[in-house]
Structure 1
Amino acid sequence: MDLHRKVRYGMVGGGPGSFIGKVHRMAANLDGLMELTAGAFSSDPRKSKKMGRELGIANERVYGSYQQMARREASLPEDERIDVVSVTVPNNLHYDVCKVFIEAGIHVICDKPMTNTIEEAEKLCRLVDEHDTIFALTHNYSGYPMVKEARALVENGKLGTLRKVVVEYPQGWLSGSVEDDDIWRLDPNVAGVSSAVADIGTHAEHLVRYITGATLKELFADIHTFGEGRELEDDASILVHYEDGLRGILYVSQVAIGEENALKIRLYGDEAALEWRQENPNYLRLKYPDKPEEIYKRGNDYLSDAASYNNRVPAGHPEGFIEAFANVYSNVAEVITARRSGDAPNELALDFPTVEDGARGVHFIHKAIESGKKAKWIAMDYNPPGSNAKNP
């Protein structure tokens, strides 16, 4: 068995015209640790074959369905089959696709939200445990080096006791007249119970959880749909209370005219505050009550080990969305390679969102929508079934 080969991955979804499928492939390819070997790129076998040819994949490794792909890949010798599958289909298929590949003994990298229901999310947690699977969720914003630096600063007590967090993710892509019937994120049969909260609110919630390590205690959500005739919300403002006293505001919108992907977090402690903006991701601002503001810059030697480990080029050369996405893929690839060789992985490579993060995100989505419908505070006490997803 070749212990030094690239990690072989397959893809389900990501066919012609898929934005997110292309992003996943760019991320997987960036560091040269992985190679795309198989795929079921569309539910239409002809489209899947066409995509496979365009990507240079052997015809016999391009499949007409994900079920066929899982069966066939699992039947191949260990040194030929894929190690991991990338799941880039719409939300309603996440559970079924992940389940099939986990049961086939193949690791999983899944787009978010992990599933459409809490029950499905918890089933995946149990399956990951049962089959000893490496499972990663592409909350890619946690892959930015300066987000990892923010986490390190909080862990080291730089901000003191945390008091307030304000996280926002406004977009404007649904602010005008659109053909809603053609947008699956607005279809409850595909997207589930939510549009804005599931699509971008879950990123904002995970960003706070990743940086602070705080556990949600309760929330109160104002959920609204501005687009006439839409069945799912396109705007949400949520008050959040965390354990240990941290309080916050989480605001997301898909109808904020002029906004693109303006994810931003401001975190206030009793000694200092920090601010990070996704659209200018190479800088992290630290603010104090009694001295000038500090700006931490990506790529410098004074940063934490985690920030440096997930950095590629010297300071002054911008890194962005694809590089952050690639950090999830590269870390997973390192853990898979370590497991295959029987070695312990680098602890820094274990830093990627897991199936437990996915279950917490799905729980957040459902409770936010419940709160919005009932106009009341909802308790958030939740512990998903235990997972060994980070176990090498």
Structure 2
Amino acid sequence: MFGKNKKATNDVKHQKPFAYRMEDNVRPSLQPGAYRARELLNCTVASFYEIRNNQLTPHQRQAKRDFIELFERQTKTPLKDLDDSILGLYGTLAVLMGHLDEFFFFGSLTKSSSPLIHRLVLTNLPPHADCLGGCHEVDDKEGSPQFVISLYRDHQEHQDLPSLASTLAHEMTHAFLAAFVCSCSECQRNEINTTGVKSSHHGPIFRGLEYAIMASMADWSAGLDNYFKRCVSGTYIHSASPDCKMQGVEDAKESGDLKKMGMRPYIKKPSPRLLIRISENRISIDVKRLRANVRRTAALVKPDSTGRQMKGENSSLESENLGIKPAIKLPDGWPYGDCRGKKRPAPSSSSSSSSNEDSEKDWATEESESESESKSTCIYCTARACRHPFMKDGH
């Protein structure tokens, strides 16, 4: 929490997100909790949105082919009969999740040796709830974020595989942003304009990423396109997201959280100079500028002679195994709720340089952060007692 007079400093060192090298079969490796929300959005969307098939990475092309093949085959079977198929409904969704992760999220959620999605749970709707699914963070002894994604199969909206696949992509988007967006004090102050306040997590950055994902998936299958058009009137913007976000803002105002945390004001009309412009009912992506900007400013993956990703300041080698664990029953006392992920605790003694994600200053013109860094402190925010996942000297 913040006092009214807390001043921002320039201590936080945010990492630059990776850009895909289209000519290499190399998967970028992202560091948990290390990126500004809009920078992560730009690099992620630039890796898949309106990109021709021959410009995708081999990983992405394979994931897209496999998703379409499995999805079209399983869609022919009524949902109630999928449990009797070879894969079963749960197995189908688990495999589809891996393909979605590979295509949209750099394989960062399921493809590493320590997958961030700890469980995919297919279960019944909790009592007195009306959500389609949930994304909840679970405690991990090693300090890395891990998530349980729940899909409520008996919800009235889940009548077919396209509806379940849409909910799955929605919850994966929550998990991706919760895992990799920085949660330092200064970034939290601007949540109302980025990932959304804690009661909704449907902020502009979430809606922008989900829009790009839905628009891309609609090209893969007529069934998905028809479902999206039916649910979102052909806009690929979930109407519930802006409403949910604004209700969260009103709740935060009413409770006094915005004032207590020194939250920045909500920007209703974002700058037209932004590469991805996200307003209440319209999202526009300047594809040409976005790709040029990411190529110019993102940290590129450097493969070695074997085609693997080289270790470097911003990367680490990843294994190829799909770490999806079997279904489990929800334990007693499971924190049923809506489709938002639980926010990780903020660093206790760190803050960042002032940065308004939706300000008039374009992301491309942001000045580089200071490179100075104490070896005895956190490699992300220079604090001695923060909660970032990878720290030096045993912090």
Same fold (TM over 0.5): no
User: RCO higher in 1 or 2 (8 Å CA, sep ≥ 6)?
Assistant: 2
Calculate the TM-score normalised by the size of structure 1.
0.28
- Normalising by structure 2, we get a TM-score of 0.28
Higher percent of residues as strand: 1
